[in-house]
Amino acid sequence: MTGASVPSAFEPAFLAPAARAIEVIGGSLTEKSLRLHLEGLAGVDAVGLQARAASLGTRSIKTTSKAWALDAIIRMIDLTTLEGADTPGKVQSLVAKALTPDPSDMTTPRVAAVCVYGDMVPHAVAALGQNSGVHVAAVATAFPSGRSSLAVKLMDTKDAVAAGADEIDMVIDRGAFLAGNYGLVFDEIVAVKEACRRDDGSYAHLKVILETGELNTYDNVRKASWLSILAGGDFIKTSTGKVSPAATLPVTLLMLQVVRDWHRLTGERIGVKPAGGIRTSKDAIKFLVTVAETVGEEWLQPDLFRFGASSLLNDVLLQRQKLSTGRYSGPDYVTVD
């Protein structure tokens, strides 16, 4: 692996030979060929993008459509706790909630995954037991800032995978991206992907967090999305949840457009995960509409779309109870975790 060496002015720095990038850009990947490719992407008009997102947000999802949507949201939630104060007890409580979101209605589906820090993975794995159908996702690579050496990031990833994480949520090096060092960002993703490899040759799923709130412009989000897919990401994810703004509808729409373009180009399906700031069913349904009308409803499944959220689940459960009983209950009728 060529790693994250700083490119020299005198020799072309070859980038890690990621299969997707070679297929789309061509062999002998260099910083320059990657840059030319990313700069050739069509621009994004912010006003137009936001207007489109707002118009998707006006869809009126009622009755049977709403019932289906609420269950679909639960199935696509990565139930998350990412606090310095996380303990084994807290993680166990989160897992119990993931397995039985609503003890008053056992027809409620389970969430897609629990998302925890790497050192909490063993507790999550133990609490879930065998064949729960709920994945363990671990944030890695010096989450949330990503400010550490590549060696540390790779160890962080390998530790979590070895402890039984099914999915790795990595952060990109936003500093390198904003400095224009796209090759460094690219090589790091390729290396982390390789660190997701298990002894049996299978891979933990890799979600690449762009931290769109720090990339700031929609043009940057489009470039970073494209770069992450080229480098081998299985999912592109908006945010860590530690930076504001986190997952906005326009940013998610834009990332879905990139995924749609990638599918059109290669036939390959990439997942999208908005994370942070989505707290109500009403908001989450806007995201479902945006997915269905941008990439197609085929994407409305946990392999291709996730919500990174914690408080969202209880609001969905309240709405779900309202649909089945016809009346609103209240916060004491859903469990705190």
Partner 1 sequence: MPASTTSFLDYAPAPESTSILNLADSYGLFINGEFVPANGKSFATISPATEKKITEIASADAHDVDLAVAAARRAFDRTWSTMSGADRGKYLFRIARLVQERARELAVAESLDNGKPIKESRDVDVPLVAAWFFYYAGWADKLDHAGLGPNPRALGVAAQVIPWNFPLLMLAWKIAPALAAGNTVVIKPAETTPLSALIFAEILQQADLPPGVVNIITGAGETGAALVNHPDVNKVAFTGSTAVGRMIAKSTAGTGKSVTLELGGKAANIVFDDAPLDQAVEGIVNGIFFNQGHVCCAGSRLLVQENVEAEVVERLKDRLKTLRLGDPLDKNTDIGAINSREQLDRIRELSDIGEAEGATRWTSPCEIPSKGFWFAPTIFTGVETSHRIARDEIFGPVLSVLTFRTPAEAISKANNTPYGLSAGIWTDKGSKILAVADQLRAGVIWANTFNRFDPASPFGGYKESGYGREGGRHGLAAYLKSGSNGGSTRKASR
Minimum CB distance to partner 1 smaller for 208 or for 292: 292
User: Are the CB atoms for 305 and 291 separated by under 8 Å?
Assistant: yes
Minimum CB distance to partner 1 smaller for 149 or for 266: 266
Total residue count of the chain as it appears in this document: 337
Shortest spacing between CB 253 and partner 1, in angstroms: 9
Shortest spacing between CB 218 and partner 1, in angstroms: 9
Shortest spacing between CB 228 and partner 1, in angstroms: 19
In the chain, what's the furthest Cα-to-Cα distance? 71
Contact residues: partner 1, CB under 8 A: 42-45, 47-49, 51-52, 58-66, 68-69, 72, 75, 257, 288, 292-293, 297, 300-302
Q: What positions carry a catalytic annotation?
A: 169, 237, 273
Minimum CB distance to partner 1 smaller for 59 or for 279: 59
If phi > 0 it is left, if psi is from -120 to 50 it is alpha, else beta; for residue 202 that is beta
CB atoms under 10 Å from CB of 85, counted, come to 6
Shortest spacing between CB 149 and partner 1, in angstroms: 38
User: Are the CB atoms for 65 and 281 separated by under 8 Å?
Assistant: no
What residues contact residue 23 under an 8 Å CB cut-off, 6+ apart? 266
Shortest spacing between CB 294 and partner 1, in angstroms: 9
User: Are the CB atoms for 103 and 96 separated by under 8 Å?
Assistant: no
Cα 284 to chain centroid distance, Å, stands at: 15
CA distance 126 to 73: 25
CA distance 119 to 159: 8
Minimum CB distance to partner 1 smaller for 148 or for 324: 324
Minimum CB distance to partner 1 smaller for 82 or for 253: 253
CA nearest 94: which of 114, 77, 112, 76? 114
CA nearest 192: which of 235, 222, 226? 235
